[in-house]
Amino acid sequence: RKEVEQDPGPFNVPEGATVAFNCTYSNSASQSFFWYRQDCRKEPKLLMSVYSSGNEDGRFTAQLNRASQYISLLIRDSKLSDSATYLCVVNSEDNYGQNFVFGPGTRLSVLP
């Protein structure tokens, strides 16, 4: 079983739409959760950390369900500039120690 899985995408949505991304992780001992965005051929950039109580930053809302080992990201009123790949990242411990584990990403295209 893969450690971090995400919706395969791509998601093509019109401007102004609401879009939700889902992520599941396999290691129940994971402690930290993040959403990063990655533009084509660029570095991952932190979008937001994900807290147990859920958190919101403007048009972005992240939710964490530890019991189901599930993380979500909701984008409201999507803009053209939201087009990117969204990476679910989990701080996890495996045979090699504690490290960031990246999901494969979900690509979003916001269309005019």
Partner 1 sequence: EPEVTQTPSHQVTQMGQEVILRCVPISNHLYFYWYRQILGQKVEFLVSFYNNEISEKSEIFDDQFSVERPDGSNFTLKIRSTKLEDSAMYFCASSPTDAEETQYFGPGTRLLVL
Residues that bind partner 1 (CB under 8 A): 31-32, 34, 38, 41-46, 49, 87, 91, 96-105
Shortest reach from residue 50's CB to partner 1, in Å: 11
Our CB check for partner 1 shows the closer of 11 and 35 to be 35
Q: What's the token pair of residue 1?
A: 């079983």
Residues 52-75: b if buried by 16+ CB within 10 A, e if exposed: eeeeeeeebbbbbeeeebebbbeb
**Short-list 75, 110, 105, CA closest to 9:** 105
Rounded to the nearest whole angstrom, what is the least distance from the CB of residue 45 to partner 1 in the complex?
A: 7
**Which residue lies nearer to partner 1 by CB, 15 or 93?**
93
Q: What is the smallest separation between the CB atom of 70 and partner 1, expressed in angstroms?
A: 19
* Residue carrying the six token digits 């609401």: 18
